Copies of this chain bind each other. A is one copy, B any other.
């Protein structure tokens, strides 16, 4: 009888999609205008879903204030108003596609969320495309 509770958050960041070991032409061919060397950016809207059982004492699955603080420290402080390629260590050698950002965010949260809970994230890169990842 498990239930999932979702909390929304958001961060704004710049990025470019490219591989250092590819020529500009190859990057342009595969990543199109997303490979602009001067960067572009997005408002990333995040939903963090925690799955577990309700604590019969409080009626909470998880304390949302605690969850909110974890999201702030692990995601917002790390990614908000940042250049993902230049300033976020995880993307030094990893292409910051929305898929890879989702993996990075999930892994950062997973370390801080008690293992008794399931973890799923939805990450909107724009209002028109998003990913769902649950490990």
Contacts and interface: CB of A to CB of B under 8 A. Distances in A.
A135 interface: yes
Contact of A58 (B13, B59, B60, B97): B97
Interface residues of A, number: 60
Contact of A59 (B12, B49, B100): B100
Contacts of A13: 40-41
Interface string A37-71: 01111110100010000100111110011000000
Given A43-B126, A100-B54, A127-B45, A86 B38 contact: yes
B83 A36 contact: yes
A78 to B, nearest CB: 13
Interface string A66-101: 000000000000001111001100000011111110
Given A7-B129, A39-B14, A40-B14, A33 B103 contact: no
Q: What 6 A-B pairs have minimum CB-CB distances, sorted nearest first? A: A41-B41, A59-B95, A38-B83, A59-B97, A33-B81, A14-B14
